[in-house]
Structure 1
Amino acid sequence: MSSAPLLSIVSVTDARPHAPEYHAYSAMLAERTARGARRAGWRVERVAAADVSVATTLRRTERAAALVLLGGEDIAPEFYRAARGYRAEGAHAERADEAQIALVGRALGRHTPLLGICRGHQIIDVALGGTLVQDLGEHSGHRNDGVEIHRVMSDHEVELEPGSRLHGVLGGRVITRSAHHQAIDRLGEGLRVVARASDGLIEAVEHETAPITGVQWHPEDPRAPRGQLGALLAGLATPALRLAA
């Protein structure tokens, strides 16, 4: 397995003592991503960006053939020129924000394949100069409010843009599992929308020239459609191998 290409999976943190149930669920999603990546033929290294310096995150991902940025805390509003104090604002992880934004910039410069999931999808947008809707409000349909953490995910369907990379990987219409209270607002430079929800919210983006993709949903959730995560992770391999050649 040592000859397999390296995939760096970058999460926010490996410890949330203030939110143990949320952390346990997040850790389970991260582990499912790592297992899915190994099944897809990747050698995996995991980095928790809030737990080490920005320089360490960049160094540990230096040799990665591809990257996955996972979900987690809201991005600190300073990174997209907005104010704090919005509804449902929680703890932020500014070091992780800074590191992951830097990873997107480096991936863009090198054309390194990168997949952003939920927060990671929003990080891509913010890194490229975009902004976020800070709160979708209660009962938005994109998460289940006021329930146990294992019931927070909401199901809905999205249709993918014909001709997009995601359409080629997943097909035209997919069921998605989501649990977000924020969303992309103004699109970052070089990005194009390749999926929207029925209410118009941006569900997936791709960079126009680099192999960078973001999905607002959670393909790594246990109740996501079978094979969705594997298809996305396998889809990272083709541009990675092309880059290596």
Structure 2
Amino acid sequence: MIENSTGRRLVMVEVTEQRENSPAYDAYVRTMIDRAAAEARDSGWDVNQVSAADIGVDGLLQAARDVDAVVIMGGEDIDPRFYDGERGYEGEGEHFEVADAAQIELVRFAVTRGLPLLGICRGHQVINVALGGTLLQHVDDAGHRNVDLPVEYALVEHPVRLAVSSTLRDRFGSDHIVVQSAHHQVVDRLGLGLQAVGWAHDGHIEAIEHRDLPITGVQWHPEALLAPAGQLRVLLDGLAVQTDALLEIA
């Protein structure tokens, strides 16, 4: 672990430490999460990696008490009961309700504290659900993920259009970027205070930002091995800028 050189403290939250029924998926998710954590440490963050399913609501809120920023990583679908959805939808897999509840409460905690927050894939959806939004439970796979292939081939490359007035557009320096995605659900009705700032080729929402708070969600995977070089660092550096601004105020 690289010694922290900035004093910034980050909690990086995953769904679960172990998926006994899905070892291949677990290994693949683990690779991406560990890559994100390593990149954060390389850029000066003091990173604490935690599993929401294993420590629950109280444990996760405790882990976030003294941090300066939060990242919620990808994983399984959110249980539909958290956004008034129905079970039995196409493509439904295993749910981790304890993780869902914990991550949702973490987002609300970040809102009350004004903590900078980045959500990646599932994390992006958790932000929306936590603030009262909903999800489209299944979208056409074309252009969003590969199916009927080993999990390591699930990611697909596609363009995303960013709103000209968005913070993400400023960070990336372009209103069109290429990303790696692997999802079958997307943000539908936006949660309180959120705005859509990124869209896929078919118009589905790929990025959100809070109108007043340092909260960003992206549906894609900047931490994927084949993601465009530097994309994850752009998002982590943006999180650092937001964190430093708050630390200076404090």
TM over 0.5: yes
Deviations 1:8-54 (A, max 9, x none): 10000110010000000000011000011011210100010001121
Report the AA paired with residue 151 of structure 1: Y
Looking at structure 1, the residues matched to 9 and 55 of structure 2 have their Cα atoms a distance apart, in angstroms, of: 20
2:228 to 225, 230, 237: 225
Corresponding position of 1:168: 170
Report the AA paired with residue 13 of structure 2: V
Residue 186 of structure 1, CA deviation: 0.6
Unaligned runs of 5+ in 1: none
Structure 1 residue 188 corresponds to structure 2 residue 167: no
Looking at structure 2, the residues matched to 218 and 240 of structure 1 have their Cα atoms a distance apart, in angstroms, of: 22
Corresponding position of 2:133: 130
Looking at structure 1, the residues matched to 35 and 7 of structure 2 have their Cα atoms a distance apart, in angstroms, of: 19
Looking at structure 2, the residues matched to 30 and 49 of structure 1 have their Cα atoms a distance apart, in angstroms, of: 14
Mapping of 1:96-245 within 5 angstroms? 96-137=99-140, 139-172=141-174, 173-245=176-248
Looking at structure 1, the residues matched to 203 and 159 of structure 2 have their Cα atoms a distance apart, in angstroms, of: 12
Other structure's SS at 2:54 match: coil
Query: What root-mean-square deviation, in Å, do the aligned CA atoms of Structure 1 and Structure 2 show?
Result: 1.0
Looking at structure 2, the residues matched to 186 and 15 of structure 1 have their Cα atoms a distance apart, in angstroms, of: 32
Residue 171 of structure 1, CA deviation: 2.1
Report the AA paired with residue 130 of structure 2: A
Report the AA paired with residue 91 of structure 2: A
- Identity rate, percent: 48
Looking at structure 2, the residues matched to 110 and 96 of structure 1 have their Cα atoms a distance apart, in angstroms, of: 21
Question: Given that residues 160 and 171 in structure 1 are in contact (C-alpha distance below 8 angstroms), is that contact kept between their aligned partners in structure 2?
Answer: no
Corresponding position of 2:73: 70
Other structure's SS at 1:143 match: coil
Deviations 1:52-81 (A, max 9, x none): 121011101211111100000100000000
Looking at structure 2, the residues matched to 110 and 53 of structure 1 have their Cα atoms a distance apart, in angstroms, of: 20
Corresponding position of 1:61: 64
Question: Given that residues 176 and 219 in structure 1 are in contact (C-alpha distance below 8 angstroms), is that contact kept between their aligned partners in structure 2?
Answer: yes
Residue 194 of structure 1, CA deviation: 0.5
Looking at structure 1, the residues matched to 39 and 200 of structure 2 have their Cα atoms a distance apart, in angstroms, of: 26
| TM-score (norm. length: structure 1) | 0.97
Question: Given that residues 160 and 178 in structure 2 are in contact (C-alpha distance below 8 angstroms), is that contact kept between their aligned partners in structure 1?
Answer: yes
Q: How many residues align?
A: 244
| TM-score (norm. length: structure 2) | 0.95
